Structure 1
Amino acid sequence: MSTTPQPRTRTVVVVMGVAGTGKTTIGPLVAEALGLPYAEGDDFHPAANVAKMSAGIPLDDSDREPWLDAIGVWAHDRAGLGGVVSSSALKRSYRDRLRAAAPGVVFLHLTGDRELIEQRMGARKGHFMPTALLDSQFATLQPLQEDEAGVAVDVSGTPEEISARAAAALRGLAG
């Protein structure tokens, strides 16, 4: 008899949202609640992207393509097994690219008030994304549309409260 917890869902979940919404904090908590592995989307960025963002320069679509493709490969490889990965996935075209690589992915859109998100970004240490790029993130953001599989969850509250709401909403998609 195996003692390894079995995933409650075999879906690949992409935790999306603007910088500072808590993708890196909430993603692992949701993965744990769903019994799935977690992958940090920032780890898929090529070094040139990290350097550009660290310099306060927003990424453009061509910068994001190799990053999205790498996340798409991970999600594709997890098809049928499930997993949780973070990716801003700000535009519909980015999400379409991820869906093309891994049909069946669902999105967890972390949403919140700009003031709260800016405050959280200012408090975090050692992250390459400066608060100065938050406006470009909001300008780029295209929220989930009705025909996209996913849920939106507000990021007010503690990480535990947010992740509990998110896991419940994702379980609701499966049911």
Structure 2
Amino acid sequence: MTAGPAPRPVIVVMGVSGSGKSTVGGLLAERLGVPYAEADDFHPAANIAKMSAGHPLDDADRAPWLDAIAEWITGRGDLGGVVSCSALRRRYRDRLRAGTTPVFFLHLDGSPELIAARLAARMQHFMPPGLLDSQFAALEPLAPDEAGAVVTIDGGPQQITERALAAVPR
């Protein structure tokens, strides 16, 4: 009896705002031939309004958002997918991987200066650059027992995506 193909993980492209999660996530999903979900699309309107006003979200604000993303992950089963999500704290990542679907985190990592410059150049996004410091303060790096990899964001989107592809288990 032959075993079927190994389950494909859902890849969570994580990092602070401005690190390139949406761009790299979309490119990565395209290259892997799997669906892509943008975490911002899971936010309730109240969260977007709060962030647009320059106020960071608290855990109560994040709970329904993380649950909606976790539901999407679970719905992928063993088919794989890519979703962008800041996933800054270990407890948020634990919530995302609580189901039976395998999850692999790709942490897009760059200096505060580089990310601030990218945020300053970004148009039409509700996340104001002033909240970047709070995101770096909240960031808990991946622990050794978490399935994932750190990808540096030096270079352009294609270069970053190539590094991400190399880090993803096949």
TM-score by length of 1: 0.91
Secondary structure of 2:82's counterpart equals strand
Tell me what 1:42 maps to.
Answer: 40
Structure 2's unaligned 5+ residue stretches are: 1-5
Equivalence for 2:80: 82
- Match of 2:89, as an amino acid? K
String of CA shifts for 1:41-72, please: whole Å, max 9, x gaps: 10000000000000000000110000000000
Counterpart contact for 1:111–1:152, Cα < 8 Å: yes
User: Against the structure 1 CA distance between its residues 102 and 28, is the aligned structure 2 distance closer, same or farther, given a 3 Å change threshold?
Assistant: farther
Q: Is the 8 A contact 1:9 1:34 kept in 2?
A: no
C-alpha deviation, 1:9, in angstroms: 7.2
Shift of 1:103: 4.1
Displacement after TM superposition at 1:138 (Å): 0.3
1:102: how far off? 4.7
Q: Is 1:95 aligned with 2:93?
A: yes
8 A contact 2:151–2:163 mirrored in 1: yes
Q: Which residue of 2 aligns with 1:16?
A: 14
**Equivalent residue for 1:68?**
66
Cα separation, 1, equivalents of 2:106 and 2:32 = 13
> Which position in structure 1 is the counterpart of 2:139?
141
Percentage of identical aligned residues: 63
Partner of 1:105: 103
8 Å CA contact retained: 2:10, 2:101: no
Residues 65, 134 of structure 1: alpha-carbon distance in 2 compared, 3 angstrom cutoff = same
Residue 101 of structure 1: CA displacement?
A: 3.2
Kindly provide the CA deviation profile for residues 66-123 of structure 1, in whole angstroms up to 9, marking residues without a partner as x. 0000000000000211100000000000000011135421101000010000000000
CA distance in 2, matches of 1:169, 1:101: 23
Q: Which residue of 1 aligns with 2:26?
A: 28
Distance 1:78 1:69, change over 3 A: same
The 1:20–1:113 alpha-carbon spacing in structure 2 relative to 1, beyond 3 Å, is: same
Q: Which runs of 5+ in 1 are unaligned?
A: 1-7
Counterpart in the other structure of 2:166? 168
Structure 1 stretches of 4+ moved >4 Å: none
> Residue 75 of structure 1 contacts residue 102 of structure 1 at CA under 8 Å; is this kept in 2?
no
Name the structure 1 match of 2:3: none
C-alpha RMSD over aligned residues: 1.3
1:129 is matched with 127
Are the aligned partners of 2:19 and 2:153 in contact in 1 as well (CA < 8 Å)? yes
CA contact (8 A) 1:73 1:102 kept: no
